[in-house]
Structure formats: structure tokens, C-alpha cells
Amino acid sequence: MGGVAHPGGDVVVIVAFDQVQLLDVAGPLEVFTAANRCAGPRYDVRVVSPDGHDTVTSCGLRICVDASLEELPERPHTLVVPGRRDWRRATTHWELAAQLASAYPGVRVEPDLLFVRDRHLVTSAGVTAGIDMALALVEEDHGADVARDVARQLVVFMARPGGQSQFSVRMTPPSRHPLVRRVMDVITADPSVPSGMDALAAGAGISTRHLNRLFRQETGMTPGRYVDAVRLEAAKALLSSGTATVGEVARQAGFGSPEAMRRLFQNTFGVSPTVYRARFRSTSASA
């Protein structure tokens, strides 16, 4: 695997290193090279390693690189670095969000987003989310039409209607802290139970401020974000597999009103609950 050289295009550098996940390299590579197929030579894509030697991915596949980092132009148009640490607003794979937040308190970790832009730095959740990130960069460079053509060619969503919250928050590894674990259990046991921050903190016997600090330290998100994630997950399950009305779903999932659920769906997934149901209802439910 190597880059596709189009000397007239913007230089895109993808860094590979031993034990990198293959999709972290191959996903963005496919997006940028597909953009060249769809719209002409827009990108000069190069895969490099720190020392110029071929690398072996975490799945054992060898990547043949084009050069070392030192041999590249001083300022490429785009630099893709799998797993790079970031000191600003960032995201990472959902399994590592709590670890990143704990290890680097200065980073505002967004655990339920596919990718995050903070000025000139863009971070993604990795693996297939690298494709989403690369599509967004192509759209920024050459417009929505080119990005849409690339998405069609790769048979992926132009803008995926969901973030990492598509992974079960109930499967989040339990916190090692007993108070945080107790609060998580209360929230996940019944998302319809009123669970304001003051009530959650009082139930745990600590202040609201202390609960927020502990929860962020242990899970990478605030208690409020966790409540929203659990309620969204409950609502998604009800919408995709049941026949309850949107109002009934909002009530069962713990939202104060259908409008509150609609706003959170729109902000998180970019679609309304009704559109989500139409797009993700199972074939057996439809039948």
C-alpha cells in the first residue's frame, strides 16, 4: 500500500507506523484517492513512516510506504496522523475516551462524536470514523458535490446519522470509583426516572461539583452527557424496533417532551426521531 502521486494536487500525507490499525491508514487513503477519480487530480497522496521503512499493522499486514517524514515537503496541505495526542478539544475511540480525559485533563474529550475540529487540528474516533473525517476535509476543499461523489463510490454515508453513541453506553466499562459506578447504575437502570444533577449528587452523598469532576475523570463525560446518551440509546431502541408514537417514546426514554427529544436527536444525529425511525427500523419490524 502506498500513496497515489498526482504532482499537481495538494499534498496529503498519511503517517503509518508499526502496529497502526490498517483502517486508520486505508480509510482516509481511499477517500482522497477516490476524490481524484471523481474530480481529477486534486490530491497528491503519500503514505510515509517516521524512518521511511515499511510498517506492519496491528492485523499483520505490511504497508509499503513512499518515504520518510524528513523527505516530505515542509508544509503539506493535510497531515493525517493516526492516534496523535491533542491538547485541545478532541475525540478518540469510545473505549479510550475515559483514559484520554484522565491522562490529559487539558483536553476537552468529546466521546460521542465521530470527529472533532479544533482550529487547524482534526481528530477522529479512528477506524471507520477516519473515513467520515476525510470526507469532511474533501468537502471543505472541493465542495459538497465532490464529497458526495466520493461517498457514493465508497458506498458510505455522506454524513453518518449518528456518532459513537451508536455503541451501547450500557456496555461502557464500569467505573472503578464506587460513587460514580452507583450513579451510572441509577441512570442506566431506568432512564425515565428524573435524574437532575442535584438529585444524582444527593443520592451519591456528594456535591454536584464533586460529582461532575469525578464523573468526567472516570468516564470522559459529564453526568448530564451520560444521561443524554442513555436516554438517546433507549429512544433509538424503541424507535427502531417498536410501534410506540414519538410522544410515547419520549416519555418512556425519560425526555421531558417530544420536542426535547427531537432537539437532542437533531443536535446529535442530524436527523429527527421520525427520520431516524424510517432509516433504521429493522426489516422484521417493517414487515
> Which position has the higher pLDDT, 164 or 223?
223
- What is the rounded CA–CA span in Å between residue 269 and residue 173? 24
Asked which of 47-56, 92-101, 245-254, 273-282 is least confident by mean pLDDT, the reply is 273-282
- What is the rounded CA–CA span in Å between residue 3 and residue 9? 13
Torsion angles phi and psi, residue 3, rounded to 5: -75, 175
On the question of pLDDT at 50 being above 90, the answer is yes
> Which position has the higher pLDDT, 263 or 159?
263
Q: Are the C-beta atoms of 89 and 62 separated by less than 8 Å?
A: no
- What is the rounded CA–CA span in Å between residue 282 and residue 114? 23
Number of domain units in the chain = 1
Residue 33 lies in a domain: no
Range of the domain at 209: 169-286
Instruction: Using alpha carbons, list the distances in angstroms from residue 110 to 61, 96, 100, 235.
Output: 31, 11, 10, 21
Q: Are the C-beta atoms of 234 and 174 separated by less than 8 Å?
A: no
Phi-psi region of 254 (alpha: psi -120 to 50; beta: other; left: phi over 0): left
Indicate the pLDDT class of residue 66, thresholds 50, 70 and 90: very high
> Which position has the higher pLDDT, 235 or 161?
235
CATH classification at residue 204? 1.10.10.60
Residue 254 lies in a domain: yes
Residue 205 lies in a domain: yes
Q: Are the C-beta atoms of 245 and 235 separated by less than 8 Å?
A: no
> Which position has the higher pLDDT, 44 or 119?
44
Instruction: Using alpha carbons, list the distances in angstroms from residue 263 to 225, 242, 273, 275, 278.
Output: 14, 21, 9, 13, 18
On the question of pLDDT at 283 being above 50, the answer is no
Residue 259 lies in a domain: yes
Residue 209 lies in a domain: yes
Query: Which pTM value belongs to this model?
Result: 0.49
Give residue 29's pLDDT. Answer: 95
Residue 35 lies in a domain: no
Residue 85 lies in a domain: no
Torsion angles phi and psi, residue 222, rounded to 5: -80, 165
Give residue 31's pLDDT. Answer: 94
Is the four-CA dihedral 22, 121, 162, 179 of positive or negative sign?
positive
Residue 265 lies in a domain: yes
Give residue 194's pLDDT. Answer: 59
